[in-house]
């Protein structure tokens, strides 16, 4: 059965025109809601939570091969299956992309080429020949980012002296010092501390010459590797300051003048070991977990040390074995960047509550009790800047006690509001702790970042190893919009100065065309949806010019087919915002944005609802794949780090359309009563 044949069996009927447009029959909408609700409930785990796979790019499989090659570990069959999986996503031009349909990425392409050779694919293979031509045409290995070069150094394929220094001494800076590690984002922190240990210890494994990548250096390796150079056009600049400092650190490495190195390594080791507790691995995210394994081995921990065994086990849990399918007859193995159970569960419970699942339904109660058990009761890195606040809130994964985040916490609070828990007093206490924690995390400008408060020192963007574009965690309007919606549910209004400050932040960040940037979802449709939901919930009048301008932008970027879509490419080219293939998740966001702006009567609404109804499958689900090819990847609508790393949340296509249809149904019912 083709995807077209699998679409919703209930063909939407449409009633008489009202105010010049054709409305979807509410009976069809109600039927679609029922199907979607039942499908979402069918995905619930017996323990009460929801958790879907997060899809990312082939960096995961390439780095998996690198890790096990460096440490001479891993199952050979699994490594070969990972290689098969990685090769499936090579572009026609020979490169690999960080999102489906995107342009080639030099760092990822070099990683995949290297991994393929490590797995025995010869340089003469047509796939590698094409990749090599692309890499050389785009600057060769020296054009890669620091993280890629560090991994290559460990295999003898790059020179440590030519990589930006990441000295472990950074962990010695006191918390009051301007450049302490708590002034960079939590994810960079967890990635860089073990990477600093690697830089100090300089792991090295000699690989056979036929597995090397000298051929990827423009003009040959001897002539291509170069140190970072000072920008002579802007001689007095922060970039040049850090470049000079980088060369001084390399000089001290060369002459072994490192008086604090032993202390720094001990401090870095302790920092890392502390954060391996109460978590699913360091930071509970793929790159930090991988770096931690290497760092432990660099520090002398043996293969059978409990710390190494645990770190490896947590890392391998991210793996997914894929059995052969008609489309892909070979078995494959892939990695996921992390797990998302708290996020998926909070979104699912909220969507189901909105869709009419009873507040005392046992399945809802089980989900809420599961979330309550995940409440953070330990002070993590966030407490460095917020020391006098009681722990509260939630993280994203199964366990990540050091790193709760404001976005998950807000969404869990929304979910809790949809259930009547017999433990009402306890749930109330948990919610109040979380709200107090959220207010304590509010930034000076009124917005909220994700993991830290006021993580905004732009100077860190000039550090040479900051080329992964993720050094900071500044306040974002999408999180702030969700925060306003949450606070409104718990009785807060614009009379609260903290709420008004958040509104002021949002208005200040609005784009000239009326949209808002989406930091954690793709992209302006996501940001605008959450902002308008928050403004509506907190009581901002629909007639405010900022609201109406945003609604007009949403209507303006609607696709001809009635849906909405936006490409990841908008992070690189903001002028293309709102442009992309229609998807269920983004169509749902756009519909909820318009409804939050008071638009329940436009043709845009009617066409968007029709788009969702016509594309719902018989089982109540929606599809967001790239097509009928052999790849697993869906259209990317989630953001990890703009311009660097993106995610496909495979459950977004289920709970957001359900929320949109439910919101539409309620708006129509209110209009009928008032009319």
Q: What are phi and psi of 656, to 5 degrees?
A: -75, -45
Q: What does the pLDDT read at residue 22?
A: 58
> Among all chains, which residue has been given the structure tokens 């129509």?
668
CA–CA separation, 357 vs 378, rounded Å?
Answer: 33
Q: Which two tokens stand for residue 498?
A: 């903290």
- Model confidence at 39: pLDDT above 80: yes
CA–CA separation, 191 vs 491, rounded Å?
Answer: 39
- Model confidence at 176: pLDDT above 90: no
CA–CA separation, 247 vs 360, rounded Å?
Answer: 63
> Among all chains, which residue has been given the structure tokens 């293979």?
125
Q: What does the pLDDT read at residue 232?
A: 61
Asked whether residue 277 is assigned to any structural domain, the reply reads yes
How many CB atoms are located within 10 Å of the residue 402 CB?
24
Task: Report the pLDDT averaged over residues 462-478.
Answer: 88
CA–CA separation, 604 vs 600, rounded Å?
Answer: 9
Instruction: Decide: 203 and 154 in contact? Cβ < 8 Å.
Output: yes
- Tell me how far CA of residue 273 lies from CA of 167, 282, 636, in angstroms: 18, 9, 34
- Tell me how far CA of residue 458 lies from CA of 9, 173, 241, in angstroms: 53, 18, 14
Task: Report the pLDDT averaged over residues 153-176.
Answer: 93
Q: What are phi and psi of 54, to 5 degrees?
A: -100, 125
Instruction: Decide: 548 and 537 in contact? Cβ < 8 Å.
Output: no
Per-residue pLDDT band for 458 (boundaries 50, 70, 90) equals confident
State the virtual CA torsion across 16, 21, 26, 31 in degrees, nearest 10: 110
Q: To the nearest whole number, what is the mean pLDDT of the chain?
A: 92
- Model confidence at 402: pLDDT above 60: yes
How many CB atoms are located within 10 Å of the residue 211 CB?
18
Task: Report the pLDDT averaged over residues 579-592.
Answer: 97
> In this predicted model, which residue has the larger pLDDT, 22 or 42?
42
Asked whether residue 428 is assigned to any structural domain, the reply reads no
Q: What does the pLDDT read at residue 589?
A: 98
Q: Which two tokens stand for residue 132?
A: 């090599």
- Model confidence at 470: pLDDT above 60: yes
Q: Are residues 19 and 153 in the same domain?
A: no
CA angle 199, 385, 289 (to 5 degrees): 35
pTM equals: 0.94
Q: Are residues 169 and 268 in the same domain?
A: yes
Rg, C-alpha atoms of the chain = 25
348 closest CA partner among 134, 652, 61 = 652
Q: What does the pLDDT read at residue 230?
A: 54
Q: What does the pLDDT read at residue 229?
A: 59
Encode 358-385 in three state secondary structure.
Answer: CCCCHHHHHHHHHHHCCCCCCCCHHHHC
Q: What domain count does the chain have?
A: 2
Instruction: Decide: 528 and 516 in contact? Cβ < 8 Å.
Output: yes
- Model confidence at 241: pLDDT above 90: no
Instruction: Decide: 353 and 421 in contact? Cβ < 8 Å.
Output: no
Q: Are residues 654 and 628 in the same domain?
A: yes
Q: What does the pLDDT read at residue 240?
A: 77
> In this predicted model, which residue has the larger pLDDT, 251 or 301?
301
Q: What does the pLDDT read at residue 11?
A: 33
CA–CA separation, 134 vs 122, rounded Å?
Answer: 17
Q: Are residues 211 and 261 in the same domain?
A: yes
Q: Is 144 helix (H, G, I), strand (E, B) or coil?
A: coil
- Model confidence at 5: pLDDT above 70: no
B/e letters for 294-320, b = 16+ CB within 10 Å, e = fewer, are: bbbbbbebeeeeebbeebbebbeebbe
Per-residue pLDDT band for 626 (boundaries 50, 70, 90) equals low
Asked whether residue 630 is assigned to any structural domain, the reply reads yes
Q: What does the pLDDT read at residue 17?
A: 36
Asked whether residue 410 is assigned to any structural domain, the reply reads no
Task: Report the pLDDT averaged over residues 323-337.
Answer: 88
489 closest CA partner among 497, 499, 477, 478 = 499
Q: Is 628 exposed, middle or buried (0-12, 13-18, 19+ CB in 10 A)?
A: exposed
Q: What does the pLDDT read at residue 274?
A: 97
Task: Report the pLDDT averaged over residues 652-670.
Answer: 96
> Among all chains, which residue has been given the structure tokens 């077209």?
4
Asked whether residue 474 is assigned to any structural domain, the reply reads no
Q: Are residues 35 and 65 in the same domain?
A: no
CA–CA separation, 363 vs 349, rounded Å?
Answer: 9
Domain boundary among 314, 335, 356: 335
Express each pLDDT in 69-84 by its tens digit: 999 999 999 999 999 9
Q: What does the pLDDT read at residue 291?
A: 98
Per-residue pLDDT band for 233 (boundaries 50, 70, 90) equals low
Per-residue pLDDT band for 252 (boundaries 50, 70, 90) equals confident
Count, residues in the chain: 675
For strands 332-335 and 319-322, give the pairing.
Answer: antiparallel
Q: Which two tokens stand for residue 57?
A: 């790019």
Task: Report the pLDDT averaged over residues 392-397.
Answer: 98
Instruction: Decide: 283 and 275 in contact? Cβ < 8 Å.
Output: yes
Q: Are residues 193 and 301 in the same domain?
A: yes
Task: Report the pLDDT averaged over residues 40-68.
Answer: 97
Q: What are phi and psi of 46, to 5 degrees?
A: -55, -25
Q: What percent of the chain has pLDDT over 70?
A: 93
Provide the CB-side half-sphere exposure for 625 (13 A, CA): 12
Q: What does the pLDDT read at residue 634?
A: 72
Domain boundary among 279, 314, 335: 335
Q: Are residues 28 and 72 in the same domain?
A: no
CA–CA separation, 41 vs 345, rounded Å?
Answer: 11
- Model confidence at 4: pLDDT above 90: no
- Helical H runs in 539-651? 545-556, 584-596, 603-615
Catalytic residue among 28, 57, 246, 407: 407
Q: What does the pLDDT read at residue 185?
A: 96
Instruction: Decide: 564 and 587 in contact? Cβ < 8 Å.
Output: yes
> In this predicted model, which residue has the larger pLDDT, 54 or 7?
54
CA angle 387, 389, 390 (to 5 degrees): 125
Task: Provide the CATH number for the domain around residue 610.
Answer: 1.50.10.20
Q: Are residues 27 and 92 in the same domain?
A: no
Asked whether residue 228 is assigned to any structural domain, the reply reads yes
Domain boundary among 289, 310, 335: 335
Question: What's the sign of the alpha-carbon dihedral 363, 365, 366, 368?
Answer: positive
Query: 661: domain range?
Result: 1-42+511-675
> Among all chains, which residue has been given the structure tokens 């409990």?
306
Per-residue pLDDT band for 633 (boundaries 50, 70, 90) equals low
Q: Are residues 63 and 21 in the same domain?
A: no
Strand partners, 97: 104
Q: What does the pLDDT read at residue 503?
A: 98
- Model confidence at 628: pLDDT above 60: no
Instruction: Decide: 530 and 567 in contact? Cβ < 8 Å.
Output: no
83 closest CA partner among 73, 75, 72 = 75
Q: What are phi and psi of 497, to 5 degrees?
A: -60, -30
CA–CA separation, 562 vs 555, rounded Å?
Answer: 10
Express each pLDDT in 261-279 by its tens digit: 999 999 999 999 999 999 9
Q: Are residues 579 and 658 in the same domain?
A: yes
- Model confidence at 15: pLDDT above 60: no
CA–CA separation, 270 vs 251, rounded Å?
Answer: 27
Q: Are residues 672 and 648 in the same domain?
A: yes
- Model confidence at 18: pLDDT above 60: no
CA–CA separation, 366 vs 403, rounded Å?
Answer: 24
344 catalytically annotated = no
Q: What does the pLDDT read at residue 157?
A: 96
Q: Name residues whose C-beta falls within 8 Å of residue 503's C-beta, 6 or more positions apart in sequence.
A: 446, 484, 494, 535, 538, 540
Asked whether residue 440 is assigned to any structural domain, the reply reads no
Instruction: Decide: 129 and 166 in contact? Cβ < 8 Å.
Output: no
Q: Are residues 170 and 35 in the same domain?
A: no
594 conformational bin, left if phi > 0, alpha if psi -120 to 50, beta if neither: alpha
Q: What does the pLDDT read at residue 235?
A: 61
Asked whether residue 363 is assigned to any structural domain, the reply reads no
Task: Report the pLDDT averaged over residues 443-462.
Answer: 94
How is 69-117 classified by DSSP, letter by letter?
HHTT-S-HHHHHHHHHHHHTT--TTS--BSSTTPPB-HHHHHHHHHHHH
Per-residue pLDDT band for 20 (boundaries 50, 70, 90) equals very low
Q: What does the pLDDT read at residue 10?
A: 35
Q: Is 573 exposed, middle or buried (0-12, 13-18, 19+ CB in 10 A)?
A: exposed
Task: Report the pLDDT averaged over residues 316-336.
Answer: 90
CA–CA separation, 247 vs 283, rounded Å?
Answer: 30
Provide the CA 560 distance to its chain's centre, in angstroms: 29
Express each pLDDT in 199-222 by its tens digit: 999 999 999 999 999 999 998 887
């Amino acid at each position: 059965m083709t995807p077209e044949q699998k679409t919703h069996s209930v063909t939407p009927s449409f009633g008489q025109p009202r105010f010049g447009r054709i409305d979807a029959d509410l009976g069809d909408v109600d039927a679609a809601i029922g199907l979607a609700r039942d499908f979402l409930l069918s995905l619930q785990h017996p323990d009460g939570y929801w958790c879907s796979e997060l899809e990312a790019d082939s960096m995961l499989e390439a780095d998996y091969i690198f890790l096990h090659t460096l440490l001479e570990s891993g199952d050979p069959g699994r490594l070969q299956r990972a290689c098969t999986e990685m090769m499936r996503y090579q572009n026609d031009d020979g490169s690999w992309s960080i999102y489906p349909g995107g342009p080639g990425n030099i760092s990822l392409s070099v990683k995949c080429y290297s991994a393929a050779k490590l797995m025995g694919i010869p340089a003469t293979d047509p796939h590698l020949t094409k990749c090599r031509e692309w890499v050389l045409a785009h600057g060769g290995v020296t054009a890669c980012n620091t993280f890629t070069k560090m991994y290559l150094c460990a295999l003898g394929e790059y020179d440590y002296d030519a990589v930006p220094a990441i000295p472990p001494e950074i962990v010695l800076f006191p918390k009051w010092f301007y450049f302490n590690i708590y002034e960079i984002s939590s994810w960079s922190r967890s990635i860089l501390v073990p990477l600093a240990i690697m830089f100090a210890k300089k792991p090295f494994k000699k690989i056979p010459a036929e597995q090397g990548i000298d051929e990827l250096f423009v003009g040959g390796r001897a002539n291509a590797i170069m140190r970072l150079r000072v920008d002579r056009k802007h001689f007095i600049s922060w970039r040049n300051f850090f470049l000079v400092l980088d060369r001084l650190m390399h000089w001290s490495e060369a002459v072994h003048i490192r008086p604090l190195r032993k202390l720094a390594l001990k401090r870095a080791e302790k920092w890392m070991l502390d954060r391996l507790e109460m978590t699913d691995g360091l930071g509970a995210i793929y790159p930090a977990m991988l770096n931690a394994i290497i760092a432990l081995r660099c520090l002398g921990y043996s293969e059978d040390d409990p710390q190494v065994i645990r770190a490896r086990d947590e890392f391998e849990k991210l793996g997914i074995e894929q059995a052969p399918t008609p489309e892909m007859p070979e078995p494959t193995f892939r990695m996921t960047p992390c797990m998302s159970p708290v996020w998926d569960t909070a979104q699912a419970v909220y969507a189901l509550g909105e869709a009419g699942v009873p507040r005392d339904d046992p399945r809802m109660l089980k989900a809420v009790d599961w979330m309550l058990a995940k409440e953070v009761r330990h002070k993590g890195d966030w407490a460095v800047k917020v020391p006098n606040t009681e722990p509260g809130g939630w993280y994203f994964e199964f366990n990540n006690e050091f790193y709760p985040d404001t976005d998950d916490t807000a969404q869990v609070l929304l979910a809790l509001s949809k259930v009547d828990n017999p433990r009402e007093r306890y749930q109330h206490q948990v919610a109040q702790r979380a709200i107090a924690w959220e207010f304590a995390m509010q930034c000076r400008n009124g917005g909220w970042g994700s993991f830290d408060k006021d993580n905004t020192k732009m100077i860190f963007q000039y550090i040479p190893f900051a080329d992964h574009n993720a050094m900071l965690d500044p306040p974002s309007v999408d999180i702030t919009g969700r925060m306003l919606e949450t606070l409104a549910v718990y009785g807060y209004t614009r009379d609260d100065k903290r709420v008004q400050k958040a509104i002021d932040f949002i208005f200040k960040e609005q784009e000239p065309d009326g949209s808002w940037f989406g930091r954690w979802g793709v992209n302006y449709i996501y940001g605008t949806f959450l902002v308008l939901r928050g403004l509506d919930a907190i009581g901002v009048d629909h007639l405010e010019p900022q609201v109406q301008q945003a609604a007009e932008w949403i209507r303006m970027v609607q696709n001809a087919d009635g849906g909405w879509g936006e490409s990841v490419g908008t992070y690189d080219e903001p002028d293309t915002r709102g442009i992309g293939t229609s998807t269920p998740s983004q169509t749902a966001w756009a519909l909820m944005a318009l409804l939050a702006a008071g638009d329940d009567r436009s043709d845009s609404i009617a066409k968007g609802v029709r788009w969702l109804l016509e594309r719902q499958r018989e089982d109540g689900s929606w599809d967001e794949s790239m097509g009928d090819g052999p790849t697993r990847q869906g259209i990317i609508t989630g953001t990890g780090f703009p311009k660097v790393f993106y995610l496909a949340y495979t459950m977004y296509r289920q709970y957001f359309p359900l929320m949109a249809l439910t919101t539409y149904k309620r708006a129509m019912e209110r209009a009928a009563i008032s009319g």
